[in-house]
Amino acid sequence: MKGQTLTIWITGASSGIGRATALEAAAHGHRLILSARNEGQLAEVARECENRGGSATVLPCDLSDTEAIPKLVDTAWDLVPGGIDILYLNAGISQRCRVEDLDEAMIRRIMELDYFANVLMARSILPKMLALNPERKVCGRTLRGHIAVTSSICGVFGFPLRSIYSSAKAALYGFFETLDAEYHDSGIAVSIICPGRVLTDISLHAVEKGGREHGTLDAGQKGGMSAPKAGRIIYKALIKARPHTLVGGKELLMVYIKRFFPRLCARLSRKIKPE
């Protein structure tokens, strides 16, 4: 992998771990395609990427408009000769309300962006990757393409005030693990990135009752891993095509408690202070 320049398309690249991962990839000289809704923020990230030695192309989009995804993928694929080596699906929105305060519009808004958009992006780019002649070699494996997605520890166990967010993130596991099972032998790598608490602005834009923005940086996030450190971990996971990567601090212990002691995990989840 040393010296190989890759084309990496990152969604949700305007801030948080998407931005941090882009900057880390740029520091290693890779070509970036950056997508999110905020074109101004994307342009700033692109400038930072170029200052770090990479190249970056801005491709603004609203992934909640799922009907536009096939055309978006076609556009991105044609931006760089040779297509896209890694698609990192990172866009999403979180939630801060109890089940009784959910309405159908909120449920659909979160599921459209956090689940359906990611699935449709992967489905749209898959045939393009399968048509490539394998060139990228990782740990002795030759790859035609690589699709990565951000889930969450909230997709591993239920978390207060995150019912639909947790549902979407859990559903990503089902789809992308199946994608790996079906296409591993065809040269398609699949990576699931599973963050815990990372210091980003995701809680600021989380959806509250009535569709309002939460507008508050949660205490747990304030004490979370820095975005640059998370970006370094995620970049390494992408370059090494790791199938599953946990990103965070001591809260990641809950993933193992869920696996080996599910009843204890349920009791601990009930004791989590909602925020």
User: Catalytic site residue 165?
Assistant: yes
CA separation for the pair 59, 13 (Å, rounded): 10
Report which of 12, 67, 19, 33 is spatially closest to residue 228, judged by C-alpha positions. Answer: 19
The catalytically annotated residue of 115, 165, 183, 235 is 165
Cβ–Cβ contacts within 10 Å for residue 185, how many? 7
CA separation for the pair 6, 75 (Å, rounded): 18
CA separation for the pair 169, 230 (Å, rounded): 18
Q: Are strands 55-58 and 31-35 parallel, antiparallel or unpaired?
A: parallel
Phi/psi of residue 103, each to 5°? -125, 165
Annotated catalytic sites, by residue? 165
